[in-house]
Structure 1
Amino acid sequence: MANVTHYFQSSTKDFTFGPWKLKATKDHIMKSADIEQLAEEMHVPGLPEMLFGDNVLRIQHTEGFGIEFNAKDALRRVRNCQQELVKVACAEEWQESRADCEHSKEIVKPYDWTYTTDYKGTLLGDPQLKVNPTTERINTEKLKTREQIIFFEEVLLFEDELHDHGVSSLSVKIRVMPSCFFLLLRFFLRVDGVLIKMNDTRLYHEANTDYLLREYSSRGSKISDLKHVPPPLYTDPNEIAQYLPLKQTMYEKLEFPNGMDGVPLSPSPQST
């Protein structure tokens, strides 16, 4: 990890398309002391070893409203996830490794050491986008067409190897075309010999519309139910996804605040 940190160079990319401004910031992994301090502030016994606390992907309209994706807000959702805690040997190791933390004694609720989060982004601005259930779906067929990609970026928010018992990670990537943009936020969890889980949030906006579509899905399976799947696929989220049963879905329309209309994306794309 030290070598990765040594050669890593911080970067910020801005991209303007129509009334939208996109910002992708990539910074160094937070230092251990800073992670411990943040864990204390959040009243949790520990946080991912590779936490990119300053990384962010932000999409903001000229009127101020928008949405961003960052690790800290995602981790604040961990304690709210209603799920059975994974009980394996590494869970005990995790607890022991944080037993000396004074603030961990103040934790009343069990904490999910796998960092499973149902985070779907942080709304920006005042007023904010209005979130409502919808029957409308993202046009996946349109996304398959060969439209020019005028901007692409991927940002890692956190990752933890769970004491060499698997992986827990959260990343977000976006691609912008002249007529739309599409974003995927993915939480991926693999506990070796136990389970695989994936929470995806897809965000889509098409030119000349006054809303964004957001689709959330949660998939998961015990490893014992994946014996028909070649083990090498367990480590590839894109490949294993088709074998994971769908557990939960949520479809939402994020509408512009009153009086604000959609504007074409294509007039003057600029990047810096």
Structure 2
Amino acid sequence: MMISHGFKSSKKDFSFGPWKVTTAKNHIMKSKDIERLTEDLNLRALPEMLFGDNILRIQHNDGFGIEFNAIDALKRINNSDDTLQVACAQQWQESRVVSEHTQEVVRPYDWTFTTDYRGTLIGEEMQMKVTETTERINLEKLRAREQIVFFDEVLLFEDELHDHGVSMISVKIRVMPTSFFTLLRFFLRVDGVLIRINDTRLYHESVPTSLFTDPNEIAQHLAFKLRLCEKLELPEQKQGAVNEDLK
């Protein structure tokens, strides 16, 4: 059964250092807006619960940043392939006919709504640049018990796949005194067939100036520039002659 979500609209703003987090939660999109969006995106069907006005935005004072929204997530759905053929797929498709006056069956692009959406870069005068990297998020720092000064989670869309599972995407953020962490997760469960998860993790460290004068605190935030490992070997002791008188 699909989880029941409250529909009370809300908006939160939280500023820390040069960053501002904005989260907005609104009602499910109205049918007329869904029809227009379906045509604009050239899709055959949209998720049952689509929160088109929900958003999580992280923006720098200089204007650049990243946001997560349902519309851009839908744009990353495969629009040409029915990538998953399972026994329940045909039943799902037959449940979504064009109208009650026709027997034409709508064949969706990807009836599971699988998306590889990773966020939307924002900024008018400047934007962040995406590059590949071998760096990895320090999970040990994330596991550390640091105070959480702000937390929120935003649902973008959800569908029960005609009672054969669930397809949903949501994003959540937590802000700590020295960093923030965002997890965007697409989750798909087709009962008795498969489970699929697409995760996007975003981590940023921001060291407060108050730590600059404390060597013990600032040390854990500095990057290694040189690592040199040596060992000291003790000198060998010379074995001198030993005279013993045995009586």
* One-letter identity of the residue aligned with 2:92: W
Shift in Å, 1:131: 0.8
Which consecutive residues of structure 1, in runs of 5 or more, have no partner in the other structure? 209-262, 267-272
Shift of 1:62: 0.6
Q: Deviations over 1:131-177 (max 9, x none)?
A: 11111111110111111000000001000000000000000000000
2:137–2:203: 8 Å Cα contact kept in structure 1?
yes
* 1:146-165 correspondence to structure 2 within 5 Å: 146-165=145-164
When Rg is computed on C-alpha atoms for both structures, the one with the higher figure is 2
CA distance in 2, matches of 1:37, 1:27: 18
| Bigger relative contact order, structure 1 or 2 (CA pairs below 8 A, ≥6 apart) | 1
Rounded to whole Å, the distance in 1 between the matches of 2:37 and 2:138 is 39
**Structure number having the greater strand percentage:** 1
**Deviation of residue 90 (structure 1)?**
3.4
Query: Which amino acid counterpart does residue 174 of structure 1 have in structure 2?
Result: I
* AA at the equivalent of 1:135: T
Q: Equivalents in 2 of 1:189, 1:264: separation in Å? A: 43
Match of 1:124 in 2: 122
**CA 1:156–1:204 in structure 2 vs 1: closer, same or farther (change >3 Å)?**
same
Instruction: Name the SS of the counterpart of 2:42 in structure 1.
Output: coil
- Determine the C-alpha separation between the residues in 1 that align with 2:173 and 2:205: 14
Of 97, 114, 138, the residue aligned with 1:99 is: 97
Distance 1:63 1:117, change over 3 A: same
Distance 1:152 1:115, change over 3 A: same
Relative to the length of structure 1, the TM-score reads 0.69
Larger relative helix fraction: 1
The letter for the 1-side match of 2:65 is G
Counterpart of 2:19 in structure 1 is: 20
Give the share of equivalent positions with the same residue, in percent.
67
Q: Are 1:55 and 2:51 an aligned pair?
A: no
Q: Does 1:114 align with 2:112?
A: yes
Question: Residues 21, 99 of structure 1: CA spacing in aligned structure 2 closer, same or farther, 3 A cutoff?
Answer: same
Report the counterpart of residue 171 of structure 2 in structure 1. Answer: 172
Query: What value does the CA root-mean-square deviation take over the aligned residues?
Result: 2.6
- Asked if the contact 1:27–1:54 (Cα under 8 Å) also holds between the matched residues in 2, the reply is yes
Change over 3 Å in CA distance of 1:40–1:150 after alignment to 2: same
- TM-superposed deviation, 1:79: 1.9
Aligned to 1:137: 136
* 1:70 CA drift (Å): 0.4
Q: Which position in structure 2 is the counterpart of 1:202?
A: 201
Match of 1:33 in 2: 32
Which residue in the other structure is 2:214 paired with? none
- Residue 88 of structure 1 deviates from its aligned partner by 2.6
Asked if the contact 2:7/2:28 (under 8 Å) is kept, the reply is no
* Count of equivalent residues: 204
AA in 2 matched with 1:132: T
CA separation of 1:264 and 1:90: change in aligned 2, threshold 3 A: farther
d(CA) in 1 for partners of 2:167 and 2:161?
7
Query: So what's the TM-score if we normalise by structure 2?
Result: 0.76
Partners of 2:82 and 2:108 within 8 A in 1? no
